[in-house]
Amino acid sequence: MKKKLVKLVSLVLSIVMVTTMMPTRVLASKDSSLSESILKSKASSQVTPDEEEFVYSVEKDKDKEEKKVKDTKEEALKAQTATENSKEEKAKVKKANQTQASSKNQTKTLIAKLKGEPLNVSLSDKAKIESALKSYQSLSDTDKKELDEEVCHEALADGINTGQSYGRILESNEWALYSLETPDTSTTLKKGTYTANTKPALSSTSDKGKSTSARVRTWTIESVTVDKNHNATAKIMVNSTTYDYIQCAGKIFKPIVDTATGTCSFNIPIDLNSSFYILGHSSTMPTAIAYKITSKISEPVVKDTVDVTFTAKNSKKEVIKNLTVLVNGGKIKATKGVYTLMKNTSYKVEFSAKGYKSVSITYKALKSEEKCVTLTKAYELRVKVEDMDTGANIGKATITLVKNDSKEKVSPFAKGVYYLYDAVKYTLTVKAEGYTSKSKNIYLKSDKTLTIQLSKKKANRQETSKAVKNVIKMIENLPSNPTEADRESIIAAQKAFIALESDEEAKVTNKERLDAIYKKLGAKLVKDGAGDYTFKDQYVEGGRGAFQVESISTTSNGQSMFRIVNAVLHVSDSGNMTADITLSSTGYRYVYMGNASDAFKAEEAAGGFLHIASAKGVIKGSPVSYKDSEGSHAAYRFTIPVESLDHPILIAGNSYAHDSTLANLTSAERLRMQGDGTLSFSSIWFQRAIIFSSANLVKVTSENNQSTVEERTDGEDLDKGENTKTSGGSQTVGKYAFKWSGGTMGHVVISCSNVEVKDGKAYATITFARKASIGGSAKFSMVRSLGVTVNGNNTFTIPVNLNSNTPIEAYTTAMSQGHWVSYTLYVGVNDEKILAEVGQDADGKSIESTVGLNKDTLDEEAPQIVGFESKGEIEVTYSNKIKIFEYNDGYYLIEIDSSKDTQREDKTADDMDALLKEKEKSDEEIAEDYEEDNEAKENNEAVKDKYSNDSLNAAYKNGVVKYFVVPEGKEVPVGLEEDLVIISQPVENVYVSSQTALELIDALNLNDKVSSLGIKKEDVEIESFAKRMAKDYKKDDAISYFGSYDKWNLKSMIKEKTGLIIESGEILVKDEENISKDWELFNKLTDRAAQMGTAFLIDRSSDEENDLAKAEWLKLYGIIFGQEENWKKAYDNVVGKATNEEKEEAIKALKEDNNKEI
């Protein structure tokens, strides 16, 4: 036993010795092997208890060693992870530092794009300033502090190096932007002056911001004055006399200098209990300094409700009694006429009174007050309906009265009594059983009783047979040898005869006896000798009065259109008579002296309708306009022979409006008709008879010559389709932009349904249609485009250019004869693949215009214009009122700022119109407006349809008026009518009412372009112009006086074909007290210019402060008149004579004018 134990101990010791020399992992392995060996011995019953105890201890040590190894691994892994995290964190920090440095540099770049001179900052810089502020705010506090201290050494956007920190530059630009804002000066303080010693007391603080300059001063608010309207004005003061002006509230304010105290003070509008910003310009500082000033004063809290009384007056300022007022539909009631309303709340208030037009307004309750509105008078119309022949009252007549604008029916106040609003147009329709209905336009300016006479409908066949017998009997009763006493009986028989239906005339078997008897009697002539005669009572509704028109048409439609509204009888020395008769409309363009049957034969003999003007016996009408109580109307006048007075004269009128034959022709037939004239057809003739009454003749003298008929200047336009009124429109067709312009009467619209490229060519499918407001259907059968003629029925697929204008001609028969009408199409696309198919490159020309986006400020860069490529800007150095941009092919865009330095500088056209609506006019002004409106209609109604252009008028009302100069022989671009005023060269027959404009035109040697002035001869300062205005000046280039700006002579302008109107800038809204009146006058002028279709240019050269600024306008006029060399030479001459000091002063004045106080 001992031997075994010794042996075992010896074995263990040897193992221990070995294991002390082995790594832990090896030891564990050895122990495990030994343990396994012992366990095997145990299994064979050879292991002693001591050996078993040993095995246990070895296994225990093994577990400890394994745990130790595991712990070591985990610690090593943790150490490795920590190291990797540290590296990643360092990378993040490094990246963040780089990003922060990048953001800081980006902020510096954005600040460097701002202005160095705060006074140069304008509202157009807002986006740049806000972008820089946003970038600055995103920086860390450390970076912000660094930028606030780091000096910017580079020149800024306006070329100025301020030497200030980036932070101060940004702050100055931000505060400069705030200095342009208009403050809310309203306050609840009572009227009076408040200081630091009043109750409530006034206090203020001044902040120089980030400025480090030792020269920066402290500003104080010395006092605040509140006016009766509760608006506040502050007197601010600084301890310096070097400030020559400040900018605040968007205006420039001059100082009140007190040398005794060494201070400057300024009176400015103020928003109390808030901060405001000023830019102080000091003679000792290179740039203006931006300050922030804060006021503090206790303002009383007002109650939440206000008491309002609503009243109304008429145009005579008389209070309207029995007024009904509804606030929010009657939900809010008044207490003894006073409404208690919530402050700062809007209400709908309706005013109505018997005999007046109701008014509805949105009223915002701001203070307790009496709110008064003006109601328009409603005039009383009484309608009587009579039988035309007997004068008896027709009791069962139906009267319908409709407002023209809304088609709303007007209910009678009582039977036959209506109340119609002042200056509103209505249509009255009267019907009665057995009578021909009648319609009449109504436009009241006073109470009126209107008598409508209805004629009985034509008799039936049985009654007509009685009429034939009656005529035969009347002729039988006439004496074979008539005397003057028988004239009336003879005339009665003739009237009865021509009143028969045409198929019944042949049944009058003794007609030849009637003709023979009248021939024996002889024609009745004028006894008072040669001269012109008119009639005591010109045409009266129903055909009574000086002359009578009796229809004997073989058809029933259209008879009422043949109405004579004016007649003048001309008697020659030999006694021959002719008469000028003016019809009531343009429905008849040709007449024939005789019956309708003979007129038809004469037309056929001449070759059909297309040759009607050359038909024997046919008289063509002259276009005129006439005036009546309802305004001015376009019409035709005919000069006809008069054989005898008091005798029916047969006349047939040709009415193109009733010619259904034209509408039913095929395209092929129309082509034949238009081409070789082989197709012959006739139109419809309506037969009439005219009687001139000798009893009413009045000889025309210089005293009683008051003709209401005027020549129309559009001449043959209605027949030939040469009217210059244009229309236009645009749409998108897939990838293509489609625009069009042109036309004649403005009644047609063109749409495009498809654009495709086929065989290397582009084709557009277009359709002509009448405007919905006009009604009817278009009648186009052919279109010529790019040398190809395409037939169709209002729809055509035609070849077109891409990205440039396509002039086309369209053939229409919508008028009295077929004619070609010119249009211009534009199809634009920016798809390179499509352009490649038609062999074009993408040339950079825009297919969408931006020229109309900026309406109230001058464009900084040349705006995009469809189909045109900008060639840059013509530099304007000394003026801020004009811009000139050049485009390809000699086109120019001229912009004139018509709002700068005027009362509408910060107002849009809508704002100005709103002021005009609020203005209450006196009776004298209303009467004057009505007289002017009537005069304008009388002068210009004949061309109103020809030229009226609402979009053109809107272009004039923009803050910036834009003119597009089109070179001679070039096409007027498509789609520009709504945004631009077109000036087509050559420009001739110019009207000028500006002295400075005359000086500029004289300097350019363009005096021959001026044909009329708005300046009287004695006031013209340039001798060469005054000489041509002298009465004894007989040459062709004589200059006429066509009235000043407040009263143009439209008749003369139209007759002269005035090509350009140049008005002085004095017509702009400059007087604060007369802002509404001046704007109204400006509107009238632009309305009339738009009606005439004449470009109206506002010359502001007289508003320039020095000769260098005025000289910039030489460029404008040189371009308009196509005289580039002239303007360059004249401009260089003016600039060359100016000294450097004068040029510097001009630049300085320009900067000051950018912020000039209105």
The answer to whether the beta carbons of residues 902 and 1067 sit under 8 Å apart is: no
DSSP conformation class of 334: P
- In 10 A of CB 785, how many CB atoms? 23
* β-pair type (448-454, 736-742): unpaired
Q: In what order do the strands lie in the sheet with 339-342?
A: 339-342, 305-313, 369-374
CA atoms within 13 A on the CB side of 736: 25
Locate CATH 3.40.50.1980 in the chain.
906-946+986-1153
Burial class (CB in 10 A: 0-12, 13-18, 19+), 853: exposed
Q: Which residues pair with 699 in a beta bridge?
A: 533
The answer to whether the beta carbons of residues 164 and 215 sit under 8 Å apart is: no
Nearest alpha-carbon partner for 452 in 461, 460, 463, 442: 442
Quick one: tokens of 980?
């631009």
Measured CA distances, 410 to 95, 356, 399, 773, 937 (Å): 80, 14, 10, 22, 27
Protein fold of 378-454: Immunoglobulin-like (2.60.40)
Please give the model's pTM, rounded to 2 decimal places.
0.39
CATH class of 906-946+986-1153: alpha beta
The answer to whether the beta carbons of residues 1112 and 1150 sit under 8 Å apart is: no
Measured CA distances, 614 to 232, 604, 687, 952 (Å): 80, 11, 20, 40
Q: Which amino acid is at 30?
A: K
Helix or strand or coil: residue 728? strand
C-alpha 587/C-alpha 193 separation (Å) is 73
pLDDT along the chain (1158 residues), means of 10: 51 51 45 52 54 65 76 79 71 62 86 92 92 92 91 91 91 94 87 93 91 82 90 93 92 93 94 93 89 92 82 86 90 90 89 84 90 86 83 85 82 79 81 85 79 74 68 88 84 78 74 82 73 63 36 37 77 82 79 83 75 83 71 78 81 61 40 36 66 76 56 38 46 83 73 87 90 71 87 91 86 70 84 70 58 78 80 90 90 88 68 57 42 41 37 71 87 69 89 90 89 87 86 81 77 80 79 69 76 81 87 92 87 89 86 61
Helix or strand or coil: residue 356? strand
C-alpha 714/C-alpha 725 separation (Å) is 11
**Matching CATH number, 719-837, of 2.60.40, 2.20.28, 2.20.25, 2.130.10:** 2.60.40
C-alpha 1093/C-alpha 1109 separation (Å) is 30
CATH 3.30.360.10 fits 192-296, yes or no: no
- In 10 A of CB 774, how many CB atoms? 12
How confident is the model at residue 779, as a pLDDT?
84
How confident is the model at residue 662, as a pLDDT?
42
* β-pair type (870-874, 882-887): antiparallel
For residue 264, how far is the Cα from the chain centroid? 46
The answer to whether the beta carbons of residues 277 and 291 sit under 8 Å apart is: yes
Question: DSSP for 198-239?
Answer: SSSPPEEEEE-TT---TTPPPEEEEEEEE-TTSBEEEEEEES
C-alpha 295/C-alpha 504 separation (Å) is 99
Locate CATH 2.60.40.1120 in the chain.
307-374, 378-454
CATH class of 307-374: mainly beta
How confident is the model at residue 1094, as a pLDDT?
82
As a residue count, the chain comes to: 1158
Q: If phi over 0 gives left and psi between -120 and 50 gives alpha, with beta otherwise, what is residue 665?
A: beta
CATH for 523-712? 2.60.40.1850
How confident is the model at residue 527, as a pLDDT?
66
The answer to whether the beta carbons of residues 590 and 613 sit under 8 Å apart is: yes
Burial class (CB in 10 A: 0-12, 13-18, 19+), 222: middle
